[in-house]
Amino acid sequence: MKAKDTIKLIIGGIIIVGSFVAAAYVGIWEMFIGPIIDACKAFDAGTLTALMVGKTVIKCFFASTVSALILWIGPVIGLRVMR
């Protein structure tokens, strides 16, 4: 195996693993847990608005879609690099 092929495999693997990490962070933390925590903090402070509740619901609703897109696009790019 040539050095160029080895480097392509390593970079492709990093992209694939990175997409799993990014999907977990963005899908779970940024779009699901984070907005819920922010809404709870606003409720405790007495500054919760209907707009904040709406944004939180929409983010939680689309969290799995965004996570799935990242999980689909990342490996596709990683496998393209590995070729």
pLDDT digits (tens, 9 = 90+) for 35-70: 999 999 999 999 999 999 999 999 999 999 999 999
Radius of gyration of the chain (CA): 18
Query: Is the confidence at residue 4, as pLDDT, over 90?
Result: no
Query: Is the confidence at residue 71, as pLDDT, over 90?
Result: yes
In the chain, the number of structural domains is 1
Query: Is the confidence at residue 83, as pLDDT, over 90?
Result: no
Containing structural domain, residue 56: 3-82
Query: Is the confidence at residue 1, as pLDDT, over 80?
Result: no
Distances (CA, A) of 8 to 5, 15, 68: 5, 11, 25
For 70, the token pair is 């990242």
Instruction: Please give the model's pTM, rounded to 2 decimal places.
Output: 0.80
**In this predicted structure, what is the pLDDT of residue 46?**
94
**Distance between first and last Cα of the chain:** 13
